[in-house]
Structure 1
Amino acid sequence: MRIPILKLHKYLLISVQVELDDQTALQFQEDLLNKIHQEGSIGVVIDLTSVEMIDSYIAKVLGDVVEMSNLMGAKVVLTGIQPAVAITLIDMGIMLNEVPTALDLEQGLEKLQQELEG
């Protein structure tokens, strides 16, 4: 299963609407990095509102996606993080201190624009 990645100007918008398994997470990672490269995207908003739980592997992949996107020059904003997801990320030692967050996709897009404008 593939997670849709939408392009809006120089941004990519992703709303994860499925439970993430290992294969889906790895496919998403590859798809997103390829899309950043192909489109020259400077920002990414990943909405996790529908993701209620993640395991340690998915947490690691999510952290890697953020770091890899940043290395490619695309700022990432995470939105809609559920409490169980936040707990898992912290328990796994995945510190996303430099990653802006927002409550929903709309606020995430606004936050991304603010981050990129200075």
Structure 2
Amino acid sequence: MNTPVPGACGPRLPVLRIGDILLVTLHGDLHDEAAGRLQQDIGEAIAASSVGGVVIDISGVEIVDSFLGRVFSEVAAHAKLLAAQTVVAGMRPAVAITLVELGLTLPGLRTALDTDEALRLLAPASTPRLHQNPVRQESP
């Protein structure tokens, strides 16, 4: 179930909770003030919700500069300190090229082609797999 996280409404970007994961979807240009606010909102939402992962969907972002790349890295570092992993999803090829040209390595940040893949990456390892047959041991 998708539920908004408290404190993430109004002029702020929505931070939605999907189970144990926060989802943030970015569209258009993200100005410096909004990027800083996003960083704070995600940190507060992780602490308040005790989630294990954050997905930042940037499929609607056409330009990522060095500042925004640094914000993504800092969000990942803050999330890691709060025991959560961060995945950036939906990066356009032009954005990836720009980040490489800028020399940004984005340490601690995982990427996924789309939001579905990001959610699968963050799925708890303890989740039982469907179609898994139990192993039966024969008695001696």
Q: Same fold (TM over 0.5)?
A: yes
| C-alpha RMSD of matched pairs (Å) | 1.8
Report the TM-score, using the length of structure 1 for normalisation.
Answer: 0.87
For 1:48, what is the secondary structure of its paired residue?
strand
Match of 2:72 in 1: 62
Structure showing the higher strand proportion among its residues: 2
Q: How many residues align?
A: 116
Structure 1 runs of 4+ aligned residues shifted over 4 Å read none
Distance 1:40 1:81, change over 3 A: same
Structure 1 position 28 matched with structure 2 position 32 = no
Structure 1 unaligned regions, length at least 5: none
Distance 1:61 1:53, change over 3 A: same
Asked which structure has the greater CA Rg, the reply is: 2
Q: Does the Cα contact within 8 Å between 2:35 and 2:71 map onto a contact in 1?
A: yes
Report the TM-score, using the length of structure 2 for normalisation.
Answer: 0.74
Q: Does the Cα contact within 8 Å between 1:100 and 1:111 map onto a contact in 2?
A: no
Structure showing the higher helix proportion among its residues: 1
Instruction: Report which stretch shifted further, 98-107 or 40-49.
Output: 98-107
Highest relative contact order (Cα 8 Å, sep 6+), 1 or 2? 1
Q: Does the Cα contact within 8 Å between 2:15 and 2:23 map onto a contact in 1?
A: yes
For 2:59, what is the secondary structure of its paired residue?
coil
For 2:14, what is the secondary structure of its paired residue?
coil
